[in-house]
Structure 1
Amino acid sequence: MGVSLGAGVALAHFGGERDGGDTASAPVAGAPAAPEPATAAPTPSRKATPGPKPTVKPKPKPKPKPKPRPTATKKKAATVPQSGPGTFTTASASGRVTGTSGPLRRYRVQIEDGVELSARGTAEEIEAILAHPRGWAAHGRGRFQLVRSDADFVIRIATPDTADELCARQGLDTHGELNCETTDGVVVNLKRWMLGSPTFAGPPEEYRHLIINHEVGHEIGIRQHMDCGGPGKLAPAMMQQIKGLNGCRSNAFPYDEDGVYITGPIVS
C-alpha cells in the first residue's frame, strides 16, 4: 500500500548560483551585464513509496505420519496332547444346588494332569452349563451340585488316549474322538472340549454345552440316543451330532427357547 506525503514534509531544493572560484570577478565596463543564469524551479522531493510486500506463502506443515495400527494379537491355538499320565487333579471347588425339583446329584470335576486346563475354572464352567435356562435342571429333570468329594458321579476331562482307555473298560470304542459314559461318571475327550466338532455350527465354548448335556442326560436316566426329528429342526441334545446331523441344525441344549423338549426318533 502506498504512503501519501502529508503536510510538514520538508521539501529539498536543488540548483542555485554558480560558484566561479574563491574570488568573484567584476563585470567589464560597457559590456552588457551577463544575464543571470536561470534558476531551476525547485523540485519537490518524493519519498519512495514502498510497493506491496510480496506475499510469502507459509511452508506447509508436514503431515503427521499415520500411527501404525496395532496388530491384532492372534489367539493362541489350543494345545491338545494325544496322551497323558492317566492321573487326575480334582477341582477344589464347590457350589450351590442348581434346579428346584428332581433328585439331587452331586458331581466332582477332574482334569488329567499335564494339560492346559484349570481344574477350578473348568469346574465353574461346567457348573454354569448345568445351570443354563435351556438345560436339564431348569426344566425339572434333576438338581445338581458341584462338590469336592462324596460325589454321585465324576466328570473327567482326559487326553484322547486316556479317554479311549477309560471308555474301553466299558466296552466302548471311542477312536480317540468321542466322549462316553462309564459306571462312575462321564469321560470327556480333551480334543472335543478344546476344539469342538466339525459338524457343529458354533464355537467350542457352545459345543461344551452339548457334551455336558448329552452325557449328563445319560446320567439322569436317558439311556438311548435320538435321531433328527425332521429337516431343518434343531438336533436333539441326545443325538450323537458328531456322527452327522441328518438334515437337522446343530444344537447344544435339551430344550428350545420356548421350553419345549427337543426330541427325535430313538435309534439306539
Structure 2
Amino acid sequence: MTQRDVRRSGTRLTRRGRFLVTLLCLAALAGGGSLAWATWQDRTASTRRPPAAGAETDPGGAARTEPPGEVSSNPPSRERPDGLDKPDGSKVPAIGSGSFAAARITGSPVGTGTLRRYQVQVENGSGVSPAQAAAEIQAIVAHPQGWAKNGRGRFQLVSGRADFVIRIATPATADKLCAEAGLDTGGELNCETGRGVVVNLRRWLLGSPQFDGTPATYRHLIINHELGHALGLGHLGCPGPGKPAPVMMQQIKGLDGCRSNAWPYAANRTYLTGPTL
C-alpha cells in the first residue's frame, strides 16, 4: 500500500503518519531482499556434498578376457579434488578423466605354462606415461624373483586383445572400478576385479608408509600381489618375526613383525609363504 492509496481512502494523514508509512514500505522491501538472499544461500548449500570415508580392503579374484582400448568411468565425488601430496610438494591427482590410454607396446612372453596376455592402460590426465608404465611392469613381471621366472605363469605384454588389463587410475576412478566388483578400496588401495588389475595412482607414485623401500620397489609388490590373485592365490599372514613378508600378505595394513618384501621368491628361488588367512 502506498501513501496515495491512503489519501484515496479518505483518511487524513499527519506529517508524522506519512513518515511512519514511508518507513514501513522501506522495511518491507528490505525484508523481501533478505529473504531472497537467504533462500539462494540455502539452495546453494544443499548442493554441497561432504566427503565420505571408506574401509580398507585388498581383495582378489580370477582373471578373464577384457577388450582393450579406451575405457570410460565416472569417478565418485567423495575424493578430495585438490589432490594428494607427493614428497616434492606437487599433487597426485585425486580425480581423473575416467578414460584410459593403452600402451602400444608388445613384448616377448616370459615364463612357462599357459600364456596370459596383458595390456597396460593409464588414466588420461594422471601424469603417467602409458609406455613407461608398461615397460616398468614388463620388467617387474620378468624379474628373477617373480612368478614367471619361477614356473608360476607365462605372461606377455601386448598392445591388442588381452586376457586381462592392468590399469593405473586416480584414487576416485580406482575406487569406482573396484566398487563395480563389490570392493571398497577407500581411495588408498589396489584391487584385482576379475576384469584385471586396478592400481591406485597414489600407491604407484608414493609407495606405502608401511613398506620399507622406495616407491619403485613397492611397485613390484603391487604387481606381484595382484598377479598372485589373478593366479588364484589368496592372502597370507606373517610367518614369523623378522622373516620376509609374503607378497600375498596385505603389507599395507601392517607387517606383524615381518620385514617388507616385494617378490614372491627369495634370491635362492625359495617361495616366500606364510599362514593362510
TM-score by length of 2: 0.68
Post-superposition CA distance 1:103-122 (Å, at most 9, x none): 11000000000011110010
Distance 1:162 1:129 in 2: 24
User: Larger Rg: 1 or 2?
Assistant: 1
Look up the match of 1:180.
191
1:161 is paired with a residue of what secondary structure?
Answer: helix
Distance 1:234 1:198 in 2: 17
Residue 88 (str. 1) matches residue 100 (str. 2): yes
Paired residue for 2:109, among 71, 76, 97?
97
Identical aligned pairs, as a percentage?
Answer: 62
Distance 2:253 2:232 in 1: 22
Residue 252 (str. 1) matches residue 252 (str. 2): no
Paired residue for 2:176, among 161, 165, 181?
165
Look up the match of 2:20.
none
1:188 is paired with a residue of what secondary structure?
Answer: strand
Gaps of 5+ in 2: 1-86
Post-superposition CA distance 1:118-146 (Å, at most 9, x none): 10010000000000000000100011100
2:202 is paired with a residue of what secondary structure?
Answer: helix
Gaps of 5+ in 1: 1-74
Instruction: State the superposition RMSD in angstroms.
Output: 1.1
Distance 2:181 2:139 in 1: 29
Residue 121 (str. 1) matches residue 127 (str. 2): no
Distance 1:102 1:120 in 2: 27
Distance 1:230 1:216 in 2: 24
Residue 206 (str. 1) matches residue 238 (str. 2): no
Residue 148 (str. 1) matches residue 159 (str. 2): yes
Give the letter for the 1:227 counterpart.
G
Distance 2:149 2:143 in 1: 7
TM-score by length of 1: 0.70
Post-superposition CA distance 1:140-199 (Å, at most 9, x none): 001110001110000000000000000001111100000001121000000000000000
In the TM superposition, 1:10-29 aligns within 5 A as none
Paired residue for 1:243, among 239, 243, 253?
253
Post-superposition CA distance 1:212-250 (Å, at most 9, x none): 00001111121x100000000000000000000000000
2:92 is paired with a residue of what secondary structure?
Answer: coil
In the TM superposition, 1:21-60 aligns within 5 A as none
Q: How many residues align?
A: 191
Cα displacement (A) at 1:78: 5.5
Distance 2:187 2:163 in 1: 26
The 8 Å contact of residues 78 and 194 in structure 1, kept in 2 or not, is answered as no
1:154 is paired with a residue of what secondary structure?
Answer: strand
2:174 is paired with a residue of what secondary structure?
Answer: helix
1:127 is paired with a residue of what secondary structure?
Answer: helix
Look up the match of 1:37.
none
Distance 2:244 2:194 in 1: 30
Distance 1:242 1:96 in 2: 32
Give the letter for the 1:208 counterpart.
R
Cα displacement (A) at 1:77: 5.0
2:117 is paired with a residue of what secondary structure?
Answer: strand
Cα displacement (A) at 1:79: 3.3
Residue 131 (str. 1) matches residue 142 (str. 2): yes
Give the letter for the 2:209 counterpart.
P
Divergent runs of 4+, >2 A: 75-79
Residue 133 to residue 78, structure 1, CA distance change in 2 (3 Å): farther
More helix as a share of residues: 2
Look up the match of 2:275.
265
Post-superposition CA distance 1:71-111 (Å, at most 9, x none): xxxx9556310011110000011100111x22110000000
Post-superposition CA distance 1:7-50 (Å, at most 9, x none): xxxxxxxxxxxxxxxxxxxxxxxxxxxxxxxxxxxxxxxxxxxx
